[in-house]
C-alpha cells in the first residue's frame, strides 16, 4: 500500500509540474529532484533491517536525516516563535484571532520539530514507536546525534 501511495503522489506532483511549468528544462529538473526525494522513504521501506547497511544506504540515511532536520528547523522553529510572539504580545497583528489558534501554531511547530529530529515510525499514532525507531537507526547507521 505504501508503494502505491508514493507512486500516486509522485504522479500528482508530475501532473502539477507539467501543467504549470509547460515542461521546460527547469520543470524536468524539479520533477527529478522531487521524485528522488520522494523515493528515499520508499527505498528505506524495502531494506532488510536484519542485514548490515550498505555504504549507499548509510549515505542516504545521513542525507535524509539532515534534510529532514533542516526542513523541520526552517518550518517548525518560525511557527513556534511566531506563536509565542502572538501569544505574549496580544497587540500584534493577530490580536483578533482566538488564543487556541496561537497555541495551535505552537503545537504544530513543536510537532514539526519533533518529527524532524526523531522521525516517524510505522505506527502514526504512537510516539513511543518513533523514539524506538530512532534509537534503532542510531545503532544501525552509527549516528552520534
The length of the chain in residues reads 145
Q: Are 21 and 27 in contact (CB under 8 A)?
A: yes
Q: What is the pLDDT of residues 22-70, one digit of tens each?
A: 667 777 787 778 778 877 877 787 778 888 998 888 998 899 899 999 9
Q: How far apart are CA 25 and CA 45, in angstroms?
A: 31
Q: What is the pTM of this model?
A: 0.71
> Do residues 69 and 136 share a domain?
yes
Q: Is 63 found in the same domain as 110?
A: yes
Residues 69 and 32 in one domain: no
| Digit-coded pLDDT (tens) for 80-134 | 998 888 888 766 555 566 777 888 999 999 999 999 998 887 777 777 888 888 8
**CA atoms within a 13 Å half-sphere pointing along the CA-CB vector of 52:** 2
Number of domains composing the chain: 2
Do residues 78 and 127 both lie within one domain? yes
Phi and psi angles of residue 47, each rounded to the nearest 5 degrees, phi first: -75, 145
Q: Which domain holds residue 105?
A: 52-145
Which pLDDT score is estimated for 66? 92
Assess whether 27 and 58 both reside in one domain: no
Amino acid at each position: 500500500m505504501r508503494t502505491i501511495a508514493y507512486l500516486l503522489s509522485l504522479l500528482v506532483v508530475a501532473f502539477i509540474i507539467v501543467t504549470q511549468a509547460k515542461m521546460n528544462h527547469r520543470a524536468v529538473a524539479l520533477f527529478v529532484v522531487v521524485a528522488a526525494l520522494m523515493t528515499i522513504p520508499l527505498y528505506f521501506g524495502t531494506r532488510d533491517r536484519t542485514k548490515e547497511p550498505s555504504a549507499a544506504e548509510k549515505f542516504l540515511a545521513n542525507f535524509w536525516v539532515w534534510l529532514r532536520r533542516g526542513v523541520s528547523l526552517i518550518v517548525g522553529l518560525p511557527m513556534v516563535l511566531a506563536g509565542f510572539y502572538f501569544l505574549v504580545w496580544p497587540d500584534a497583528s493577530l490580536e483578533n484571532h482566538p488564543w487556541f489558534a496561537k497555541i495551535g501554531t505552537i503545537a504544530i511547530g513543536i510537532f514539526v520539530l519533533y518529527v524532524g529530529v526523531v522521525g516517524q515510525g510505522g505506527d502514526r499514532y504512537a510516539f513511543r514507536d518513533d523514539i524506538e525507531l530512532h534509537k534503532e537507526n542510531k545503532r544501525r547507521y552509527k549516528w552520534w546525534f
